[in-house]
């Protein structure tokens, strides 16, 4: 579509030159042919746009042997002015469609990104347990705390995302600025990791996430906050309380919470 938009821009820009050119010269017919072919290519040969522009470029005329050249000159100028109005209207529609397509692509890409993260989260506990088992007389890798959690999760996230920025500073919230776990910069998604313990149950983590939501709502690069709450020892009594935090989404920030396993 970009190629067609640029071609339409170019044809519109040529109108003023054509208006200053003698109507009997072939330049207009060459230009008219380009316009009709382009409109057909963009909108289709049998579209209303094609029929409309052909009517504009082939106006009805009443001609006698005494018709002066000034009549043809006036028709020439009026036809080009009318063509400009119609082509600009087509151009506006194409640019609006292009902008809408960009938004749709971005939305689809964000949805795919969330699906990839969700797949990682759903498999995370299985992966962590597999790594914790010793093999060939070597100790396994265990997730003991949130540092281990971040380390493993970031490694898995690298399977799907390229621009991962760890521990970026967040805007001040409640007179305190902290480091986020990591930012998926291209997708503008912040990933936060929480690991439960005897002293960090569903209530404690809910309170922490409420603060995170308020903080990331101000972050210029954060459109989505995705939280992984890892509960391997089963300290969470009520997952629904954490999942309900998704209702705290704002116009600027979409919140997604995953409690695993």
- Tens digits of per-residue pLDDT, 41-83? 999 999 999 999 999 999 988 888 888 988 999 999 999 999 9
pLDDT at 135: 73
- The DSSP symbol for 111 reads H
Average of per-residue pLDDT across 76-91: 95
Residues 6+ apart with CB under 8 A from 31: 11, 14, 18
Question: Looking at the predicted structure, is the pLDDT value of residue 104 above 70?
Answer: no
Domain for residue 222, yes or no?
yes
Asked whether residue 114 is domain-assigned, the answer is no
pLDDT of residue 85: 96
56 lies in some domain = yes
- Range with the poorest average pLDDT among 4-18, 38-52, 124-138, 162-176: 162-176
Q: Residue 177: what are its φ and ψ, rounded to 5°?
A: -115, 130
Q: Is the pLDDT of residue 137 over 90?
A: no
Among 70, 100, 130, where does a domain finish? 100
Residues 249, 149: one domain?
yes
Lowest model confidence (mean pLDDT) among 117-121, 168-172, 187-191, 196-200: 168-172
Band of residue 88 on the pLDDT scale cut at 50, 70, 90: very high
Residue 170's pLDDT is 55
| CATH code of 201's domain | 3.40.1350
Q: What is the pLDDT of residue 138?
A: 78
Position 86 pLDDT exceeds 90: yes
Which of 44, 66, 100 is the endpoint of a domain? 100
Residues 167 and 251 in one domain: yes
Nearest CA-CA partner of 106 in 164, 185, 186, 183: 186
Predicted TM-score (pTM) above 0.85: no
Q: Does any domain span residue 115?
A: no
The structural domain count of the chain equals 2
Is the pLDDT at 105 greater than 80? The verdict is: no
Indicate if 91 and 161 belong to the same structural domain: no
Asked if 96 and 156 sit in the same domain, the reply is no
Bridge partners for 257 per DSSP? 227
Q: What is the mean pLDDT of the chain?
A: 88
Can you tell me which residue has the tokens 């990839």? 116
Q: How far is Cα 174 from Cα 214, in angstroms, rounded to an integer? A: 9
Q: Mean per-residue pLDDT for 165-193?
A: 72
Q: Is residue 195 part of a domain?
A: yes
| Judgement on whether residues 88 and 10 belong to the same structural domain of the protein | yes
Range of the domain at 41: 2-100
Pick from 31, 65, 100: which residue ends a domain?
100
- Is residue 189's pLDDT more than 50? yes
Of the chain, the percentage scoring pLDDT greater than 70 comes to 93
Structural domain contains residue 132: no
- Better-scored residue on pLDDT, 86 or 2: 86
The C-alpha angle 85, 32, 56, rounded to 5 degrees, equals 45
SS in 3 state form for 224-261? EEEEEEECCCCCCCCHHHHHHHHHHCCCCCEEEEEEEC
Q: Which bin fits 219, alpha (ψ -120 to 50), beta or left (φ > 0)?
A: beta
- Concatenating the DSSP letter of every residue in 114-167 gives HHHHHHHHHHHHHHHHHHHS-BTTBPPP---SHHHHHHHHHHHHTTT-S-EEES
Q: Is residue 157 part of a domain?
A: yes
Is residue 223, in this structure, part of any structural domain at all? yes
């Amino acid at each position: 579509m970009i190629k067609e938009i640029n071609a339409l821009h170019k044809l519109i820009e040529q109108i003023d030159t054509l208006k200053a050119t003698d109507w009997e010269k072939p330049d207009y017919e060459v230009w008219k042919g380009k316009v009709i072919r382009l409109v057909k290519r963009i909108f289709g040969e049998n579209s209303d746009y094609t029929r409309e522009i052909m009517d504009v470029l082939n106006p009805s005329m009443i001609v006698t042997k005494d018709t002066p050249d000034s009549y043809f000159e006036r028709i020439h100028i009026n036809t080009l002015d009318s063509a400009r109005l119609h082509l600009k209207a087509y151009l506006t529609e194409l640019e609006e469609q292009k902008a809408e397509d960009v938004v749709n692509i971005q939305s689809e890409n964000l949805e795919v990104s969330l699906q990839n993260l969700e797949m990682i989260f759903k498999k995370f506990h299985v992966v962590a347990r597999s790594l914790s088992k010793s093999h060939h007389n070597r100790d396994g890798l265990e997730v003991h705390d949130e540092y281990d959690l971040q380390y493993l999760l970031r490694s898995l996230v690298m399977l799907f995302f390229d621009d991962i920025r760890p521990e970026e500073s967040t805007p001040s919230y409640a007179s305190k600025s902290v480091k986020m776990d990591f930012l998926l910069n291209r997708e503008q998604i912040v990933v936060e990791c929480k690991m439960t313990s005897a002293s960090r149950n569903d209530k404690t983590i809910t309170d922490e996430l409420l603060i995170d939501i308020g903080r990331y709502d101000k972050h210029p690069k954060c459109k989505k906050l995705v939280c992984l709450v890892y509960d391997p020892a089963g300290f969470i009594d009520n997952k629904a309380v954490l999942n309900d935090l998704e209702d705290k989404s704002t116009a600027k920030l979409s919140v997604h919470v995953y409690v695993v396993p």
